[in-house]
Amino acid sequence: MRLVHVVMWSVAVLVPWGWDLAPGADIKGGAGIQADARGVPPIPAPPENAAQAAEDRPRHLSLALSLLPPSAKLAVAIDVSAIRNAKALAGLRSRFFSLPNVQSAASRLHEAFEFDIQKDLRMVAFACDPSRKGSEFFLIEGNFNQGRIREMLLAMAAAPDVVDGTSLYAIPDEKEPGKVNYGTFLKPDLIAFGNRDAVLAAAGKLREGDTSKMPCTAALTIRDLPAGAAVRVALDDIPSLPKIEEPFRTLIKSASGSLEVSDRFLLRLSVRCRDDMVARDIKEMAEGGAAMLRLGLLKKPALQKVFGEALVGARFEQAGTVAGGEIRIAADKVAAAAVELMNGEALRQMRGFAAEQTGAPEKGDF
């Protein structure tokens, strides 16, 4: 299903803004971090206008969160519309979609499914249990040509199985031979894709109207993160995840983060630790890490220009077993730096295209 693969690839470009850059906790007026009893610490950001905050959320976010698998320990929600509508990123978006490879993928996607990824994709939610391979589950919201997608699916895969009224398409995974993903339309503008049991469970829950309860702690935390956040992430029950490196796996119980995009990136992170002492150490480690980064950037003027001021203004706090922080980065500075990187990537891609046409090896092939 090329639609899903291209969408997932595009999301992979967006996720690092909210994951690798380590967003921090919202701390206002010295009030500190407010942790609740669910296990994953939310990032408090009380909206000034609750009604407006609700309107700011992606249209199907609450519904999507209610459909995430109960066993999920990692949940991610990306409001693509919020990123697309950020004026400070207009030039960056234009440059990104002018990259030859991106342009080609977008063109193939539109030709096959009549889907414009620049305009039609609105929201992506993802959940899984990182310790269980094959537990991945996606919800994709957008303006879809349902008839065209079904037509292409029938050409690519067998006719769907109908399970309790749900048309379930089995789609071989292009990257992992032997693996099969499953997909269905939950609504004309909402696709579920991934783990078979999770897809059927989501369809059944929606069919029965049983969407009032959140299925997992990570989903509850995602829901409570700032309404205007473009990217939200929650990771629960960290000690049970063997892929988390020691000593953090035994010291940190859960974490949540968010990214807001406007004229600046506002990154927040909150972690619940084993005890107060660990939380204090984590806070001090973050402060020390920011100081070391500031010193390191003195030798890299280009990065200093983008991140220096943000690191100076980074704030960290600890309250009981919860530690967190926040960092603000001017969006125009990040966009300018990213455009420079993409200029180099565009040149590399064009050289690769020329090499394919002439049969000459691309530089770096040996």
Residue 80, both tokens: 């693509």
In percent, how much of the chain has pLDDT > 90?
32
Lowest-confidence pick of 5-9, 106-110, 177-181: 5-9
The span from the CA of 366 to the CA of 349, in Å, is 17
The span from the CA of 271 to the CA of 244, in Å, is 14
| Averaged pLDDT for residues 95-114 | 81
The span from the CA of 52 to the CA of 63, in Å, is 18
* Most confident segment among 98-112, 125-139, 203-217, 342-356: 125-139
pLDDT at 349: 57
Please give the residue that has the higher pLDDT: either 345 or 274.
274
The span from the CA of 312 to the CA of 108, in Å, is 44
Output the CA–CA distances (angstroms, integers) from residue 154 to 105, 169, 339, 351, in the order listed: 21, 9, 40, 37
pLDDT at 179: 83
Using pLDDT thresholds of 50, 70 and 90, give the confidence band for residue 42.
very low
pLDDT at 347: 55
Phi, psi angle pair for 107, to nearest 5° = -65, -45
Residue 38, both tokens: 């669910």
pLDDT > 50? residue 32: no
| Averaged pLDDT for residues 77-103 | 81
Give the residues across from 141 on adjacent strands.
123, 190
Query: Using CA of residue 13, residue 17, residue 21, residue 23, what is the dihedral sign?
Result: negative
The span from the CA of 283 to the CA of 322, in Å, is 9
Phi, psi angle pair for 144, to nearest 5° = -105, 145
Using pLDDT thresholds of 50, 70 and 90, give the confidence band for residue 104.
confident
Q: What is the pLDDT of residues 298-316, one digit of tens each?
A: 888 877 877 888 888 899 9
pLDDT at 300: 81
- Inter-axis angle of helices 100-113 and 2-18, to 10 degrees? 140
pLDDT > 50? residue 215: yes
Residue 281's contacts (CB-CB under 8 Å, 6 or more residues apart) are none
Lowest-confidence pick of 92-106, 129-143, 190-204, 280-294: 92-106
pLDDT at 61: 83
H or E element in which residue 100 lies: helix 100-113
Average pLDDT, the chain: 77
Q: What is the pLDDT of residues 260-309, one digit of tens each?
A: 988 888 999 999 999 999 999 999 999 999 999 888 888 888 778 778 88
Planar angle of CA 134, 139, 145, nearest 5 degrees? 120
Using pLDDT thresholds of 50, 70 and 90, give the confidence band for residue 57.
low
Give the residues across from 330 on adjacent strands.
264
b/e per residue, 148-164, with b = 16+ CB within 10 A?
A: ebeebbeeeeeebeeee
The span from the CA of 66 to the CA of 260, in Å, is 22
The span from the CA of 228 to the CA of 245, in Å, is 32
pLDDT at 130: 92
Planar angle of CA 329, 331, 336, nearest 5 degrees? 115
Planar angle of CA 39, 214, 242, nearest 5 degrees? 45
Using pLDDT thresholds of 50, 70 and 90, give the confidence band for residue 16.
very low
H or E element in which residue 341 lies: helix 331-358
The span from the CA of 271 to the CA of 273, in Å, is 6
pLDDT at 343: 67
pLDDT > 90? residue 242: no
